[in-house]
Each structure stands twice: as C-alpha cells, then as structure tokens.
Amino acid sequence: MSANLVILYPHYLFSGNKVSFSIGESNHSESNIVTGSRATFFRGATAEDSCTFIVDLDALDEAERAPDYLYIAGLNLSIKKGGLVNIELNGDDASDFSGATLACGQADVDLTDLVGRNQEDFIIETDDSYTKRYWMGRIENGTGTSNFKYEFRKMYFGQWFDPIVEPDAPAMQKISPMTGQRRHLRSFSLQWYGLSNAKLKEITDRILIHRR
C-alpha cells in the first residue's frame, strides 16, 4: 500500500553514473539540473533540437532500475523561449539506446500541460514495469519549434520515496517576502510516525546522504 504523499528527488542522477549530459553555459551548467536551489537553472551552451541526460545504473540493484516518474522543474522557460516540446524518458540495456524502450512521454507539451504554483513544472509517471540499466531524460523540439538553447530548472527521474505511512498533521507556514522578493515563501513541516526501519534506511541511503 502506498502513501498519498511521496517525495520526488533525483534518484538516478544521485545514485547512477553520468554517461552523457547536454552541455550548459558556464554560469548555467548541467549540474544545476540536480543541485542548488530552484533559482539556479540549466541553459544549453548552443542552440539544438534536443537536450539529453543519460545515466548508468550498473551500481543499483535490479529492483531500483524501474523508474516511477520524470519531473522537469521550470519547463515553462523552454516553452516560452522556443515553443512546443516533446518529453521522453527512455531506457535500454545498452548505452547507445539502439533498442530503447519509452517508459513515459508526451508530445507537443505547452504551458497548459504544466503544474505547480505558477504552472511552471512538468511531471509524468511510468507504469513501473521497465527495468533497464541505462536511462535517458530527453527534451526535444515539438511541432513547429526551431532549434534554441534549452532552458529549465531541474530534471529528476527514478523512483520516488514512498514512506508507506501518511505524515502526521502536516503544517504549512507562509513567510512574508523580504526586501527584493516578489512572492511569499512557503515552509512545510512534515513528521512521520511508524516509519519502518527499512524505510528509514532507504531515505538515509538514497536522499539524506547527499545533503550538502
């Protein structure tokens, strides 16, 4: 049984080995898709018809190689800049993706397909039935879109953290904007009771170990 609230994090980008990432500008590098605050973002170094991020999961157990989702934060930046985009999460047992399997995807994504506080983000789930060694998150030109420097804030894909139990009385606090800020900040406080030892180990090994 799954909890209603799961946690998304860059599972495969944390735990897998980088194979090939599209190159970003010096001040907006490809590392920004994983690390840093939401204010940091990736911008391609050159105008292209796509951008891709490939990881090798050789170090992960077989059970960890079946992803749950693909999440792209700030995809609105690309859509406003270039136009419609196609989104894909592909898996393969070979690094050249000659026999790639499409785990999830959507064609001609526009601003109406986005979610979140200001409709900036995109998320799509898989059916969790594809177990592959190599995985590739990909954004490419949609219908009528010319090459441009792709731009977005974060890209996560892999398995989400499912605590199984629901959080106890989650609370949200709205913090008034400080000088120079345009929007209120929101802080969430979550506590879980009855989390199993296995789940405590999972969140430690997969998420907390990467804190900086």
C-alpha 93, offset from chain centre: 21
- Specify the pLDDT at position 46: 96
Q: Measuring CA to CA, how many Å separate 54 from each of 11, 181, 190?
A: 13, 35, 33
**Nearest-CA neighbor of 70 among 22, 10, 152?**
10
Model confidence band, residue 95 (pLDDT cutoffs 50, 70, 90): very high
- Specify the pLDDT at position 31: 93
- Specify the pLDDT at position 23: 96
Residue 194 vs residue 101, higher pLDDT: 101
Contact (Cβ atoms closer than 8 angstroms) between residue 165 and residue 192? yes
pLDDT at 117 over 60: yes
pTM for the predicted model, two decimal places: 0.88
Task: Give domain limits for the chain.
Answer: 11-162, 164-212
**Nearest-CA neighbor of 13 among 75, 60, 74?**
60
Model confidence band, residue 183 (pLDDT cutoffs 50, 70, 90): low
Considering the domain 11-162 in this protein, what is its CATH number? Answer: 2.60.120.260
Alpha-carbon distance of 212 to 32, in angstroms, equals 14
| Unique residue bearing structure tokens 């070979």 | 94
pLDDT tens, 3-30?
888 999 999 999 999 999 999 999 999 9
Amino acid at 176: S
Stated as kind and residue range, the H or E segment containing 199 is helix 197-206
Model confidence band, residue 167 (pLDDT cutoffs 50, 70, 90): confident
89-110 mean pLDDT: 96
Alpha-carbon distance of 101 to 98, in angstroms, equals 9
- Specify the pLDDT at position 172: 63
- The mean pLDDT value of the chain amounts to 90
Percent of the chain with pLDDT over 70: 91
Question: How many Cβ atoms sit within 10 Å of the Cβ of residue 182?
Answer: 5
The pair of structure tokens assigned to 173 is 């606090």
Alpha-carbon distance of 19 to 106, in angstroms, equals 24
Strand positions, DSSP E, the chain: 17-21, 42-43, 50-56, 69-73, 85-92, 101-109, 122-125, 134-141, 151-152, 154-158, 171-175, 185-189
- Specify the pLDDT at position 207: 85
Q: Which of 33-42, 54-63, 133-142, 172-181 has the lowest mean pLDDT?
A: 172-181
